[in-house]
Amino acid sequence: MFGEPDYPEEIRLTHRYLDLRRETLHKNMILRSQVIASLRRRMLEQGFTEYQTPILTASSPEGARDFLVPSRIHPGEFYALPQAPQQFKQLLMVSGFDRYFQIAPCFRDEDARADRSPGEFYQLDIEMSFVTQEDVFNAIEPVMAGVFEEFANWEGKGRKVPDGAFPRIPYAEAMAKYGSDKPDLRNPIELADVSEFFEDDSKTGFGIFAKIIGGGGRVIAIPAPKAAAEKSRKFFDELDKWAKKEMQAPGLGYARLKEADGGGVDSQDPVLKNFEPAHLAALLEKLGLGAGDGIFFSAGKKSDAYKLAGAARTKVGEELNLIEDGVFRLCWIVDFPMYEYDEDNKKVDFSHNPFSMPQGGMEALLAADTEEKQLDLKAFQYDIVCNGVELSSGAIRNHSPELMLKAFELAGYGPDVVEAEFGGMLNAFRYGAPPHGGIAPGVDRIVMLLADAENIRDVTLFPMNQQARDLMMQAPSPVDEKQLKELHIRLAPQMKS
């Protein structure tokens, strides 16, 4: 096999067949195949059956942008490639099948990211009938834990998967503790809302935070254990700069804790400098911090403050080398909110998936007669997260037409809109639908984690580049006039070369 010289991405992708002769890539592709074989075997062992669903299908009104395929036989009409077999798998349950799975190709016309191919990806698509959330967890957890255990020591990497059930973390708790709904549990830092300590600036001598809290904002602390002892002032200033530059935040406050002259702990940094000693002691007790430790503070509107705090938690954890090595920490995030407040349109709207089953069913929807109560409603919706990577999203579906119409009504959509957009599904449900639910772990991301790959291209045989071009096959590319004519397509003048 070839060595691994460092060529520009463009050259590598143009001659991918040569690039693939690299030992690492060769091994990664074998791993990918083995992971898929393992997933399939584990699903079959769990009593699931694999079914194929169409690739040429209809454009779906929700979700991301579709890839369209023009119809030759029906001028002016288009197929769409499936963003996911979501409707098909639910209709399979209505058809009387049970325990479906498929290693399903999914297509979305989205921009590329390091962990997302432009255009296409594979998911282990799963759906089950007559199930509660617990049943889905019980069916999938052994599959996921099993595949991570099986390949933990791939290439002698010696990684571990902790024993026992995946921790289940309610969404609200994840946001409060980690500032993220995909927390990296290898990072021991936990955030804390310390607003109560800053409300009264007569005790703190620090008016900025009191003013933010007075305006409805929050102050979130990010503990930085031993940072004051081990890092210079520059470390703290750099993080403040990072917050301003990378996060477009007003800044990240900080305080370094040291032994006070008369015993105890104090800080000479502005945020804590003028705290009453007893007040400071209470704050540090809450955070479990002492001399030698550091604290960062993210302040602002609640959502902004947590967003910055979550990112800072990761950054501080990495810089202080706190991220646990050689372990896959998988968890469930559960109890996602059904609705969220849409700031742009000043109304309540679906926060994730409108087709998830609201917890408490019709009773809960009927009882939610104020915006506040609506925002408290939770869905039977769940994610699997591993080391800060969202592997999978799933839900118990709303299979009742009445309940679905009511759920849309709360988000301000009338029955006419729902019937027009989702009439097909609603009608199917009217012919006798079993309660059902499922999940869809991303195959590419599982392989990336197991291969320790930074980029999805390292676990994909023939990937496109960041600009969504396949440089080897030269796709996309212009086509013959004759082909366009057959498809009843005429290009807009500026498109012609």
Partner 1 sequence: MHAYRSHTCGELRKSHVGETVKLSGWLHRRRDHGGVMFIDLRDHYGLTQIVFNPGSPGFGTVERLRAESVITLEGKVVARDESLVNPNLATGEPSSRKPPSCRCRCLVSRTTRKRSA
- Residue 426 beta carbon to partner 1: minimum distance, rounded to whole angstroms: 11
Q: Which is nearer to partner 1, 47 or 412 (CB)?
A: 47
Q: Tell me which DSSP letter residue 457 carries.
A: G
Amino acid identity at 262: G
Residues 6+ apart with CB under 8 A from 43: 50, 101, 124, 126, 143
Given the complex with partner 1, which of 7 and 130 has the nearer CB atom? 130
Q: Smaller CB distance to partner 1: residue 79 or 429?
A: 429
Q: How many residues bind partner 1 (CB under 8 A)?
A: 19
Rounded CA-CA distance 134/96 in Å is 21
Contact status, residue 418 vs residue 410, Cβ threshold 8 Å: no
Residues 219, 209: Cα–Cα separation, whole Å: 7
Q: Minimal distance in Å, beta carbon 408 to partner 1?
A: 17
Q: If binding is defined by CB under 8 A, does position 359 make contact with partner 1?
A: no
User: In whole angstroms, how close is the CB of 99 to partner 1 at the nearest point?
Assistant: 8
401 binds partner 1 (CB under 8 A): yes
Instruction: State phi, psi for 187 to the nearest 5 degrees.
Output: -90, 115
Nearer to partner 1, 127 or 184 (CB): 127
Residue 457 Cα to chain centre, angstroms:
19
Does residue 399 touch partner 1 according to CB under 8 A? yes
Site string for partner 1, 81-110 (x = CB under 8 A): ---------------xxxx-----------
Smallest gap from Cβ 223 to partner 1, in A, equals 42
**115-154 footprint of partner 1 as x/- string (CB under 8 A):** --------------xxxx--x-------------------
Task: Specify the amino acid at residue 349.
Answer: D
Least distance to partner 1, CB of residue 96, Å: 6
- From the list 329, 323, 39, the residue with the least C-alpha distance to 166 is 329
Output 96 or 156, the one with its CB closest to partner 1.
Answer: 96
Q: How many CA atoms lie within 13 A of 419 on its CB side?
A: 5
Place of tokens 């997260």: 385
Residues 420-439: x where in contact with partner 1 by CB under 8 A, - otherwise, as a string: ---------xxxxxxx----
3-class SS of residue 335: coil
State which residue, 198 or 382, has the beta carbon closest to partner 1. Answer: 382
Per CB under 8 A, the segment of 155-163, 220-228, 329-337, 397-405 that binds partner 1 is 397-405
Q: How far is the CB of 401 from partner 1 (least distance, A)?
A: 7
Closer to partner 1 by Cβ: residue 131 or 331: 131
What residue type is assigned to position 88 of the chain?
F
Q: How far apart are CA 277 and CA 266, in angstroms?
A: 8
Total Cβ atoms within 10 A of residue 391: 24
CB 190 within 8 A of CB 177: yes
Q: Which is nearer to partner 1, 98 or 409 (CB)?
A: 98
**Nearest to partner 1 of 332, 429 (CB atom):** 429
- Closest by CA to 237, choosing from 223, 253, 213, is 253
- When the beta carbons of 92 and 169 are compared against partner 1, the nearer one is 92
Assign 336 to helix, strand or coil. Answer: coil
With beta carbons less than 8 A apart as the criterion, state whether 313 and 247 touch.
no
What one-letter code names the amino acid at 378? K
The contacts of residue 45 (CB under 8 Å, 6+ apart) are none
Written as one letter, the residue type at 246 is: E
Task: For the CB of residue 130, give the shortest distance to partner 1 in the complex, in Å.
Answer: 4
| Residue 429 Cβ vs partner 1, minimum distance, rounded to whole Å | 8
Structural element, H or E, at residue 89: helix 86-94
Residue 47 CB, nearest approach to partner 1 (Å) = 10
Q: Smallest distance, Å, CB 315 to partner 1?
A: 44
**What is the contact surface with partner 1 in residues (CB under 8 A)?**
96-99, 129-132, 135, 399-401, 429-435
